[in-house]
Structure 1
Amino acid sequence: MKIRVQSIHFNADKKLLDFIQRKVDKLDQFFDQIISGEVYLKLENVDDEANKISEIKLIVPGGTLFAKEQCKT
């Protein structure tokens, strides 16, 4: 599966990118028709503890799946 990762307001290191790829590859176990995906990693408002946001958008036949999570780490 083709995955594009964008990190916003910081530079993602290779270790983080490899971790993301391993986790996304596991999605094929549940749905093998995923065409492509985009992962967005954002660092917002440094004053707030829960300032890390991750989003994933998966392109599948007939639609798009999207998930978003915000937390401290």
Structure 2
Amino acid sequence: MEIKVKAIHFNATDKLQDFIEKKVAKLEKLEENITKVEVTLNVVKPESANNKETAIHLFVPGAELHAEKTCDTFEEGVDLCVDILKRQLEKQKEKKSGK
């Protein structure tokens, strides 16, 4: 699984990138065929509350899943996006097994 982290308007620290990779890697437990993950981090209106925008694109064979959140911290945004993607992967598995 290839993980790309793109930080817009700032430089992501190694600690933040490690955190993202660790969280995103947990999605592989639900779906082994994830080909690529694109994480986009953006600071909107600096020095205001809830200004950290996190978007995650997940590419699996036959589907492209997406989650986006705006929070106080990127870590919180990544956590929420990963939870959303877990639910999307579970729904996708149910659809496949129901066929």
Same fold (TM over 0.5): yes
Describe the superposition over 1:27-73 as per-residue Cα deviations: whole angstroms up to 9, x where unpaired: 00111111111000000112531100100001111120000010112
1:38 counterpart SS class? strand
Give structure 1 regions of 4+ aligned residues with deviation exceeding 6 angstroms: none
TM-score normalised by L of structure 1:
0.94
Structure scoring higher RCO (CA < 8 A, sep ≥ 6) equals 1
Aligned-CA RMSD value: 0.9
Percent identity (aligned):
44
Rounded to whole Å, the distance in 2 between the matches of 1:21 and 1:51 is 22
TM-score normalised by L of structure 2:
0.70
Tell me the matched-pair count: 73
Q: Which has the higher helix share?
A: 2
Which protein is bigger by CA-based radius of gyration?
2
Q: Which has the higher strand share?
A: 1
